[in-house]
Every structure is written in C-alpha cells, then in structure tokens.
Structure 1
Amino acid sequence: MNWERGIYFTRSRPYKKNDQATIESERNHLVRRNAFYYRYDTSDERVLLKRLWRLVGDRLNYLTPTIEPVGYATGVAADSTTSRGPRSAGYCRPQQEAEMTAYRDALSPARLARDITDLQTRLTVMAKEKTE
C-alpha cells in the first residue's frame, strides 16, 4: 500500500472549486458547463463521461467557430472552425484531410446537442443524490 511510502490520495472538498484551482483553470469552462459540479466515481458514470467528452470534443473541435489569425503583421483575422487549423497549416496528409472533412460533414449539430443533453441528464440523475 502507498501509506508506507508516505503517498496519500485525497479528494478536494465538495463545492470548493479553489482546492484544485490550477487544474480547473485550464478547462473549467468546458468541464463545469458540461458536467456540472457533481461527483462522478462509479464505473457507469465514467463510461457516460467518456461518451460525453467525445461529443463535447467533436462540438468544440469541428463546429465551434473561432478567430484564426491569417497574418500577424497586418492583424487580419478570418472566421473559421478549429478543425481547419491543422489542415491549413499543412500538417495533415491529403488522406487525413479527406477523413477529417468527411467526419466533420457527417456531424449533426442538432444530434450532438440532443446526445449531450441526454448524457448530462443521465449523469445528473446518477450523481445528484450522493453529491448533495
């Protein structure tokens, strides 16, 4: 056991988000907006969270518009989606570009929103009782 080695595992206190401020500051807006402040610690909840993060990542990376700098010297920016970044920078092979484009085109924003809401509802029902 890790007690002999002087390693202790602890959780942050419930509803005290500043306990882990450095971790939460990076992606807090995504985590708290999509998974709320509940505690998820069962294997069923982890399975649902894994599915939720996949959907949230698809929405963020393929469907969320961002401002992409075109030229720093002129200060010009163009509206685009984040999935264009690696492709326009020349990091992808043509086959990878085609796969990413096909995947993006197959995504349905309405279906993503419904699936995310469904998973959030299921997670809330599972975790609400033990968190409160």
Structure 2
Amino acid sequence: MRGLDFDNGGEFINTQLIEWAQDKGIDLTRARAYKYNDNAHVEQRNRDWVRRHAFRFRYEGPQEMALLNELWKLVNLRKNHLLPMVKANGYATAGSGRRKRTYDQPRTAYQRLLDQHAMDESHAEALESVHRDLNPAAITRRVNAIQNQPINRAKMRAPSGDALFGEQIS
C-alpha cells in the first residue's frame, strides 16, 4: 500500500493513524475542502457494488463479517473474470455534427490485464487457473445464499412490524 485517501471528515484521521502511516511510509491525503466531487468514483463504487450486493443494513459481529468477506471475494471474482465492460477511447463526429463518445470492444478486467502482459508467467498461470475453475452459476447461487443470511439476521434485530422488510405496521 502506498497511500490512503480520505474525504474531509476528520473521523478517520487521528494521531495514531498518522504515526502508523509514517512508520510504514504510507502517504495520507485528503480531499480538497468544498470540492464535493473529488471522491465521486469511490462513492459510485459504493453505490454500484457494495449496496447492490450487501444492501443498506447494519451488520454486526464476526459471523456477519465472515459472510461479507466471502461475499466480496465472490463479487470480485464475478466482476473481474465474468462481467465484460467497455472503456471510452475517444470521440467521433456523427453526420449531424454532434460529438459522440466511442468505446472499445467489451472485455473483462481479467482479459484486459492479460492483454497488457504486465505479469510474469507464474502469476499469469495462477490467474488463469483461477479463471478456468470459475463456475458462474455456483458463484451466483452462493452470492444469493450469503445475501439471505445477513438479511435474515437484520430482520431478527429489527423491531416488529418494520416496514423496511415489506411487513405491514400494526
């Protein structure tokens, strides 16, 4: 790890963290004051991946932490190995004169990494082995099973008749 970036909230930065980072040679940075859009990509990832898979419940305890850790591992495998994405590569001008964004061919993050030849042979073979052993249906079934467990635990903690879970309030 080379650096940690925080938004402007002081709740994450304290003397112990600063000293620890200095001992480890880690750079600490903060977003610029009153520049609310500095962390837009991080916030988009939170909405797009974290809340889509773990929802907005409060999770507590080591059992739920273990479930969430397993969930993130599976979600990241699916995202990086199985879901193709497009990358913007420029603009073109349409017949009407309007500029239009152009994109490359859809590729998974795994394929893009292999295309760059940025890894040595042993790491590439290890990654290929992981990719070869993936079963998309099994991953989806396990993600669904994991998602149901914290939801049921959150339901048990919620007050009776909570509308959050679609039940009628008496």
Normalised by the length of structure 2, the TM-score is 0.58
Q: Could you say which residue in structure 1 is the equivalent of 2:166? A: none
Q: Does 1:31 align with 2:50?
A: yes
Paired residues of 2:87 and 2:103 also in contact (CA < 8 A): no
Q: Could you say which residue in structure 1 is the equivalent of 2:151? A: 124
Q: Does 1:100 align with 2:100?
A: no
Q: Could you say which residue in structure 1 is the equivalent of 2:17? A: none
**Structure 2: tracts of 5 or more residues without a match:** 1-9, 13-38, 93-101, 163-170
Q: Does 1:66 align with 2:66?
A: no
Normalised by the length of structure 1, the TM-score is 0.73
Deviation of residue 67 (structure 1)? 1.8
> What per-residue deviation string (whole Å, max 9, x for no partner) do you get for residues 75-126 of structure 1?
6612211112222112111121111111111000000000000000111111
Q: Could you say which residue in structure 2 is the equivalent of 1:82? A: 109
The 2-side partners of 1:24 and 1:128 are apart by 26
Give the counterpart letter for 1:32 in structure 2: R
The 2-side partners of 1:37 and 1:76 are apart by 33
Q: Structure 1's 53 and 76: CA in aligned 2 closer, same or farther, altered over 3 A?
A: closer
Deviation of residue 27 (structure 1)? 2.4
- Residue 83 of structure 1 aligns to a residue whose secondary structure is helix
Relative to total residues, which structure has the larger helix share, 1 or 2? 1
Give the counterpart letter for 1:42 in structure 2: G
Higher relative contact order (CA 8 A, sep 6+): 1
- Residue 65 of structure 1 aligns to a residue whose secondary structure is coil
Bigger CA drift: 80-89 or 54-63?
A: 80-89
Deviation of residue 26 (structure 1)? 3.3
Q: Does 1:57 align with 2:114?
A: no
Give the fraction of aligned pairs with identical amino acids, expressed as a percent. 25
**Structure 1: tracts of 5 or more residues without a match:** 1-6, 10-20
Give the counterpart letter for 1:59 in structure 2: R
Q: How many residues align?
A: 114
Paired residues of 1:38 and 1:128 also in contact (CA < 8 A): no
The 2-side partners of 1:76 and 1:53 are apart by 28
RMSD of aligned residue pairs (Cα, Å): 2.7
Paired residues of 1:40 and 1:46 also in contact (CA < 8 A): yes
Tell me which stretches of 4 or more aligned residues in structure 1 moved more than 2 Å.
21-27, 71-76, 128-132
